[in-house]
Amino acid sequence: MQSTSDFGLGRVGIWSFDLDMQPMTKAQEAVVELEELGFGCVWVPEAVGREPFASCALLLSATKKLTMATGIASMHARSATTMAAGWKTLSEKFGDRFLLGIGASHRHLAEKVHHSEYVRPFSAMVEYLDAMDKAIFFAAPPASTPRRVLAALGPKMLKLSAQRGLGAHPYFVPVEHTMQAREILGKDALLAPEIAVVFDTDASTARATARKHMLTYNRLPNYANNLLRLGYTQDDIAASDKMPSDKMVDAIVAWGSLDAIVGRIRAHLDAGANHVSVQVLSSKDGELPVAQWRELATTLKDFR
């Protein structure tokens, strides 16, 4: 099932931490090119890089039509009142060109980086959203309702994302998760999964690049538990050597030719995604994959 609305994001967007690794002037030049190439949305993370509200403001100011989305802004990094204020500030200036993605993040980031208590993430998210929606904001308000999505993997958080926002932004998921997520969300909510891709037709080197990326995530309980729910085994996710199996690599990361990568994007769209945010992986950390972005852009007309 391919959803009928892309919520103004376009069918295919770009997800990038590499923008944080560039001087802001170079990052602004990059998003200007992404806009010119025809991408409708660029997603930026929050972990230990740039502060995402400030980053999005600067990147939005450099562009004219592009949507910037946080994938995701952590509820542990700021109070609900501060989150709501940042959300409304950017939405007042840029309208629907700013999309706030909020997540419960992970225990190690919450406790070690933000010195916050990580307990009952679903209940904590409900309480956080309630506090956001009740937050005092005396500044100039947005002209239209600000937009938000939740980082959601499990059934409860997916349902909440449809109830309390536009929908969900799942990360580190195979196609079968997209299919299940659409069933849980219903037909009207936004489903915007991230997928990682490697432009490399050599199985050995492509999987090596993919594994390097996956080792950041396969040890985290949120992602591992989601994959277990989908039927993958612990040995698939991280065997005794901590490495994911070939089966797991190939399910999470699309690698190969442009046609193979486009095929994976289309598989997520056919499974029910409205929008797919593509994270291009490179063997060179921090280097902007401009050539691959340009190559991917040649296929955008096929998704309209």
The Cα-based distances of 137 to 84, 128, 288 in angstroms read 8, 16, 38
Q: Give the pair of three-digit tokens for residue 146.
A: 């600000």
In a domain, 80, yes or no: yes
The yes-or-no verdict on residue 6 having pLDDT over 60 is yes
Considering the chain, what is the average pLDDT of its residues?
95
What pLDDT does residue 45 have?
96
Residue with the two structure tokens 């046609």: 259
Residue 68 CB neighbour total at 10 angstroms: 24
The yes-or-no verdict on residue 136 having pLDDT over 70 is yes
In a domain, 120, yes or no: yes
Query: Tens digits of per-residue pLDDT, 185-228?
Result: 999 999 999 999 999 999 999 999 999 999 999 999 999 999 99
In a domain, 146, yes or no: yes
Residue with the two structure tokens 């230990």: 48
Query: Tens digits of per-residue pLDDT, 83-93?
Result: 999 999 999 99
In a domain, 5, yes or no: no
In a domain, 60, yes or no: yes
Residues 51, 81 contacting (CB under 8 angstroms): no
Residue 3 binned pLDDT confidence (cut-offs 50, 70, 90):
low
In a domain, 127, yes or no: yes
Query: Tens digits of per-residue pLDDT, 15-40?
Result: 999 999 999 999 999 999 999 999 99
Residues 203, 281 contacting (CB under 8 angstroms): no
pTM surpassing 0.85? yes
Q: Give the pair of three-digit tokens for residue 64.
A: 């004219």
Determine which helix (DSSP H) or strand (DSSP E) holds 279, and give its type and residue range: strand 276-280
Residue 138 binned pLDDT confidence (cut-offs 50, 70, 90):
very high
In a domain, 108, yes or no: yes
For residue 20, what is the DSSP state? G
What pLDDT does residue 114 have?
77
In a domain, 6, yes or no: no
CATH label of the domain that carries residue 285: 3.20.20.30
Report the number of distinct structural domains present in the chain. 1
The yes-or-no verdict on residue 68 having pLDDT over 70 is yes
Can you list the positions of beta strands (E) in the chain? 12-15, 41-44, 67-70, 73-74, 98-103, 147-150, 167-168, 190-191, 194-198, 253-255, 276-280
Residue 77 binned pLDDT confidence (cut-offs 50, 70, 90):
very high
Please give the residue range of the domain that contains residue 218: 12-303
Nearest-angstrom CA–CA distance, 182 and 7: 15
Nearest-angstrom CA–CA distance, 98 and 290: 23
